[in-house]
Chain A
Amino acid sequence: MLNNITTALEALPALPAPRRAALDALLKQGLPGKKDEDWRHTDLSILDQLSAADIAPSALNHDYPSAYEDGLDALNTALSGGTQTRTLEGKVELDTGLHQRLKLKVSGDVELVLQDITPSRFATFFAEIEVAPNSRLRLLRVQQADSQAQRLTNLKILLARDAQLDAVTVDLGGRFVRNDLYVHLNEPGAGVQLYGLYAPTGSEHVDNHSWIHHRAPHCSSREFFRGVVSGSARAVFNGKIFVHEKAIKTDSETRVANLLLSKTAEVYAKPELEIYNDDVKCAHGATFGQLDEDAVYYLRARGLDRDMARALLTQAFAQEIIEHISNDELREKITQRFLSRLPQGNTSGKA
């Protein structure tokens, strides 16, 4: 296992000792398996299907840590050539099509777009983002890789006093996609609003795992995900809220709603709560369903054909997430991409 990774790394012009150590750590610790609760529905052995050429590690070398959290952490370090540190200002776009390992600092008002710029078969994108007191990070992560692509993303976002994270994540592609998101509300008054849409089709597999840690009093979190799953695709959602002992007056809500458009589509969605104090307001829920046939009939009785009626209703369902994208051009592109991937094709009633 992982021979392709070893071969790809050894083919680099140079493999400095700390990078070799990252590879050794990966080989020693291995990748999480199906027995690991967080990986029950997502099987990383698919990485073995990549050729050494598909791995495409970065030729550059940056800073290497002295220890690794787990095999994935070591994998990303070995492939990206270590950590690059940057301070973000204004509007920034980063390429998720490359192996990258970033340490980012945000202060003031920052708009960050994460998307594939370099088309690639495989990429691991890990970033730790520190948001300074009273700062706001507006984050948009858009994944629309092709139907062969494999993507692993891991975002850790640390929020200081009164810092805000407004995030929208959209997954409209990729053969095998796993997104891990950690949000740490570390100081009082910090807040996160997270909207996510996943819409795998064909034989795509998209897994969104998130962990929101309330570590200080008076923090709020909102997490709203919607899934539209068609073909033989599989979607996984796991949203866990931890309310630590000190985090009194926590206000938290997690909702996930799923629309299944075919009999062979699969979805595993689970919101979870772990609470260690009793002065909190936490709500969560998950729903699964098909299109409302009464609504389809109503639209047909007004002249819209069945495909158009279904597309309009599906778009309306996804719109609840898409409408939170503040960039008009990207929002329109994402809407079109979403519609073009629906089983009945692009037949929307445009406004």
Chain B
Amino acid sequence: MNMLEIKNLHASVEGKDILKGINLKINAGEVHAIMGPNGSGKSTLSNVLAGREDYTITEGSVTFGGKDLLQLPAEIRACEGIFLSFQYPVEIPGVSNMVFLKAAINAKRKHQGQPEIEAVDFLAWVKDRVKKMSMDIKMLQRGVNEGFSGGEKKRNEILQMLLLEPKLMILDETDSGLDIDALKIVAEGINTMRSPERATLLVTHYQRLLDYVKPDFVHVLAGGRIIKSGGPELARELEEKGYGWLDAA
């Protein structure tokens, strides 16, 4: 089933064109990887899908589950099942992870017309997922990402993803700044979530994460366009040859 359809998407920031005609279809159950050099528009694409308002959409359309995604504010997209794992998760001192996670889960439940989650159920559920991500349970009392290392922040993103159970998982450079152990934990978290109802968009510069999370499709983004698409073998080719050879192609 078609989940996300991006058609001829153009986006600019402060008058500068970043995305110059993206076309991409993602079906439920599929894992797509978008690879590309720095400055190719990878993070812009992730944030445009998540609803960041710093970008101007100049042309094109995006539908998600049949709805016009670009008309929805960021929080509705989240409640409808889009999850962006941030490249640089924000530190929010004074708001504990516990308060934050509960607010996020209840926002989604409210959107779906469900009652707020029971405190006891919530705690047990969160604790289980925290362990799964090999995180210290004490983190729940700490401020959101406050004083977290780069690896801890990325694990916290995946923890939120496990709890919010999105339909479309967009992972923006989730592998950057991770040592090999943290990378395995993060990859395992992503793989746990793979299901025929969910889709994944891995946005990455390196092939490293793709050794652990096997994509069905690989796309190369350069200069704001997808210039090549293929299977998993394309990632390996990129790792060996770099991005230079594609310019000529």
Q: Which residues of A contact B (CB under 8 A)?
A: 292, 294-295, 297-306, 308-309, 312-313, 315-317, 319-320, 349-351
Please report the C-alpha to C-alpha distance between residue A297 and residue B89 in the assembled complex, in whole angstroms. 11
Q: Is the CB of A351 within 8 A of B102?
A: yes
Q: Is the CB of A302 within 8 A of B164?
A: yes
**Which chain A residues border B103 with CB–CB below 8 Å?**
299, 302, 304, 308, 312, 349
Instruction: From A303, A316, A317, name the one whose CB has the most chain B CB atoms within 10 angstroms.
Output: A303
Q: Is the CB of A303 within 8 A of B51?
A: no
**Which chain A residues border B108 with CB–CB below 8 Å?**
303
- What are 17 inter-chain pairs, A to B, with CB distance below 8 A? A294-B90, A297-B90, A298-B86, A300-B74, A301-B50, A302-B78, A302-B164, A304-B75, A305-B75, A306-B75, A312-B95, A315-B94, A319-B94, A349-B103, A349-B106, A351-B98, A351-B102
Please report the C-alpha to C-alpha distance between residue A298 and residue B50 in the assembled complex, in whole angstroms. 10
- Quote the shortest CB–CB distance from B78 to chain A (angstroms): 4
**Which chain B residues border A300 with CB–CB below 8 Å?**
51, 73-75, 78
Q: Is the CB of B107 within 8 A of A316?
A: no
Instruction: From A300, A309, A320, A350, name the one whose CB has the most chain B CB atoms within 10 angstroms.
Output: A300
- Quote the shortest CB–CB distance from A319 to chain B (angstroms): 5
Please report the C-alpha to C-alpha distance between residue A301 and residue B172 in the assembled complex, in whole angstroms. 13
Q: A301-B84, A304-B103, A351-B96 are in contact. List 9 more A-B contacts (CB 8 A).
A: A295-B92, A297-B52, A301-B51, A301-B52, A303-B164, A308-B103, A313-B92, A349-B102, A351-B99
With contacts A302-B107, A303-B75, A304-B107 taken as known, whether A316 is within 8 angstroms of B94 at the C-beta atoms is yes
**Which chain A residues border B98 with CB–CB below 8 Å?**
351
Q: Is the interface of B mostly helix, strand, loop or mixed?
A: helix
With contacts A303-B107, A303-B164 taken as known, whether A298 is within 8 angstroms of B89 at the C-beta atoms is yes
Contact with A along B121-165 (1 / 0, CB 8 A): 000000000000000000000010000000000000000100010
Residue in contact with B90 in the complex, picked from A295, A305, A312, A320, CB distance below 8 Å: A295
Contact with A along B71-96 (1 / 0, CB 8 A): 00111011100001010011011111
| Nearest 7 CB-CB pairings of A with B | A316-B94, A349-B103, A303-B107, A303-B78, A302-B104, A300-B74, A298-B90
Contact with A along B24-51 (1 / 0, CB 8 A): 0000000000000000000000000011
**Which chain A residues border B73 with CB–CB below 8 Å?**
300, 305-306
Please report the C-alpha to C-alpha distance between residue A320 and residue B143 in the assembled complex, in whole angstroms. 12
Least CB separation from B77: chain A residue: A301
Least CB separation from B86: chain A residue: A298
Residues of B52-81 at the interface with A, using a CB-CB cut-off of 8 Å, are 52-53, 73-75, 77-79
Q: Is the CB of B111 within 8 A of A303?
A: yes
Q: Is the CB of B92 within 8 A of A298?
A: yes
- Quote the shortest CB–CB distance from A306 to chain B (angstroms): 7
**Which chain B residues border A302 with CB–CB below 8 Å?**
78, 100, 103-104, 107, 160, 164
With contacts A292-B90, A301-B50, A303-B75 taken as known, whether A313 is within 8 angstroms of B95 at the C-beta atoms is yes
Least CB separation from B90: chain A residue: A298
- Quote the shortest CB–CB distance from B50 to chain A (angstroms): 5
Please report the C-alpha to C-alpha distance between residue A309 and residue B51 in the assembled complex, in whole angstroms. 15
Least CB separation from B116: chain A residue: A350
Least CB separation from B108: chain A residue: A303
Least CB separation from B92: chain A residue: A295
- Quote the shortest CB–CB distance from A350 to chain B (angstroms): 8
Q: Is the CB of A317 within 8 A of B78?
A: no
- Quote the shortest CB–CB distance from B8 to chain A (angstroms): 25
Instruction: From A299, A300, A302, A313, name the one whose CB has the most chain B CB atoms within 10 angstroms.
Output: A302
- Quote the shortest CB–CB distance from B111 to chain A (angstroms): 7
- Quote the shortest CB–CB distance from B73 to chain A (angstroms): 7
Instruction: From A292, A299, A308, A309, name the one whose CB has the most chain B CB atoms within 10 angstroms.
Output: A299
- Quote the shortest CB–CB distance from A290 to chain B (angstroms): 15
**Which chain A residues border B92 with CB–CB below 8 Å?**
295, 298-299, 313, 316
**Which chain A residues border B143 with CB–CB below 8 Å?**
316
- Quote the shortest CB–CB distance from A300 to chain B (angstroms): 4
Please report the C-alpha to C-alpha distance between residue A312 and residue B104 in the assembled complex, in whole angstroms. 12
Please report the C-alpha to C-alpha distance between residue A99 and residue B48 in the assembled complex, in whole angstroms. 59
Please report the C-alpha to C-alpha distance between residue A316 and residue B99 in the assembled complex, in whole angstroms. 11
Please report the C-alpha to C-alpha distance between residue A280 and residue B78 in the assembled complex, in whole angstroms. 53
**Which chain B residues border A306 with CB–CB below 8 Å?**
73, 75
Please report the C-alpha to C-alpha distance between residue A214 and residue B93 in the assembled complex, in whole angstroms. 33
Instruction: From B77, B84, B92, B108, name the one whose CB has the most chain A CB atoms within 10 angstroms.
Output: B92
- Quote the shortest CB–CB distance from A258 to chain B (angstroms): 15
Least CB separation from A350: chain B residue: B99
Please report the C-alpha to C-alpha distance between residue A306 and residue B107 in the assembled complex, in whole angstroms. 12
Least CB separation from A351: chain B residue: B99
